[in-house]
Amino acid sequence: MRQYGGNRLGLAVVGAVLLVVGGYAWLRGQGQLAGLSPRARVLPERTVDAVAGNPWTLWAMALLLVVLALVTLRWLLLGLGWGRFGARSGTGTAMLCVGLKDVEGLSRAGVRVVGDPNGAGRLRISFSCPAEADVGAVVGKLDREIVGRIRREVGDDDLGAVVRVHVRRQAAARRVSTR
């Protein structure tokens, strides 16, 4: 849940900075700032001379700003949930975690219902486990017990399911010390 808070905080900071800069630019353009004439220079004269001597710097700055705008747009769209399919199922995720409570180091567990749960929908179940876990036993337990329970709780027994298991590699320090 922390990642969503970080995204919201980051978007709020970026939005506030852009709002302040836009407000300053608008006020300056309207001549509403006290002590500054509308014709006052924005940049120092040395900076203007340096930019005029190297016109490629303006093109490089424009390219950098376009790339920054595209990265920010992608971040915003992912933060809004575009690109994700289905609806998250908190009940299904809780049932998955309870069913796999024996697996030490389980992380990134999630259950999504894609499509219509009463029609041609399916479940997307995903989690990450450490390399020390007995993956065969985990998959067997999923097949025998857990997926059926999640199906019954989320939709119906005919709901298809796709299970994605990610096995994390050992850290480099642990690999070296075990040899």
Say how far apart CA 126 and CA 109 lie, in whole Å: 6
Please tell me the predicted confidence (pLDDT) of residue 83: 64
Pick from 24, 55, 80: which residue ends a domain?
Answer: 80
pLDDT at position 1, please? 42
Phi, psi at residue 163, to the nearest 5°?
-110, 125
131 and 154 together in one domain: yes
Residues 6+ apart with CB under 8 A from 38: 28, 29, 30, 31
Look up the pTM and report it.
0.50
User: Per-residue confidence at 171, pLDDT binned at 50, 70, 90?
Assistant: low
Q: Which of 27, 55, 80 is the last residue of a domain?
A: 80
Does the pLDDT of residue 176 top 70, yes or no? Answer: no
